[in-house]
Chain A
């Protein structure tokens, strides 16, 4: 079955610390993975997609087919990064359970 797993419900880090939000997927075909973000009082929006291999707001994510992972990383967290993050498998419109990132000052 197609599945996206985000093992951490909450990740709390200090400002300036590195961040890694974990995402693992289960899909038999060629996966297309996205990260979406929901800031407080804002609508859910796309952060980045693996195909474009871009860095958005300092975040990057690399697709590792061997480990079936698509972890989201940022070297230095900022307070404005605090939000809910969802990993999504585009192929089957499946979302993970989400991880709340809290960046403390």
Chain B
């Protein structure tokens, strides 16, 4: 019973490099989210996808792109990493209809360091 799975768990990048964070959920949830967690800032929403085929910007989308590949997978891409993107990234999902209790289910997080 995996729930929400994120890869990689740790990554070190140099400024200007690109990378993609992968996220998959096996709960048949419609909505998926990417947050970043920074000390003193809490969790801030980067992008979300309310359903397969749709994506929307959150509070801090600059420097990121996302792809909702299918219902299970939602990836986050950094095209040209900057030190300000050093953070812990969390993927989350939420059900719809009868599955929608409003609860977000989170992955374990991906710690990204940009040098």
- B-contacting residues of A (Cβ < 8 Å)? 6, 9, 32, 34, 36, 43-46, 49, 51, 86, 88, 90, 93-98
With a 10 A CB-CB cut-off, give which of A44, A49, A96 has the most chain B CB atoms: A44
- On whether the beta carbons of B48 and A93 are closer than 8 Å, the reply is yes
Q: Does B33 have its Cβ within 8 Å of any Cβ on chain A?
A: yes
Give Cα A56–Cα B43 distance, bound, in whole angstroms.
23
Return 9 A-B CB contacts under 8 Å, by A number: A43-B106, A43-B108, A49-B103, A86-B43, A93-B33, A93-B45, A97-B40, A97-B41, A98-B42
- Label chain A's interface by main secondary structure: mixed
List of A residues within 8 angstroms of B58 by Cβ = 93
List chain B residues, Cβ under 8 A from A9: 40
Which residues on the A side are within 8 Å of B98 (C-beta)? none
| B102/A34 in contact, CB under 8 A | yes
Total CB contacts across the A-B interface at under 8 A: 45
Q: Are A46 and B103 in contact (CB under 8 A)?
A: yes
B104, CB-defined interface residue at 8 Å: yes
CA distance A97 to B43 in the complex (A): 7
B42–A46 touching, CB < 8 Å: no
Given the contacts A9-B40, A93-B33, A97-B40, A45 and B106 also touching, CB distance less than 8 Å: yes
B78 → chain A, closest Cβ, in Å?
21
Q: Does B107 contact A (CB under 8 A)?
A: yes
Q: Mark B73-92, 1 if CB is under 8 A from A, else 0.
A: 00000000000000000101
Asked if B109 is an interface residue, CB under 8 A from chain A, the answer is: yes
Residue of chain A at shortest CB distance from B107: A43
- Considering residues B101, B103, B104, which has the most beta carbons from chain A within 10 angstroms of its beta carbon? B104
Q: Which residues B37-71 have CB closer than 8 A to chain A?
A: 40-45, 48, 58-59
A34 touches which of B41, B90, B103 (Cβ 8 Å): B103
B102 CB contact (under 8 Å) in A6, A86, A90: A90
> Of the candidates B42, B48, B107, which one forms a contact with A96 in the assembled complex, judged by CB atoms under 8 Å apart?
B42
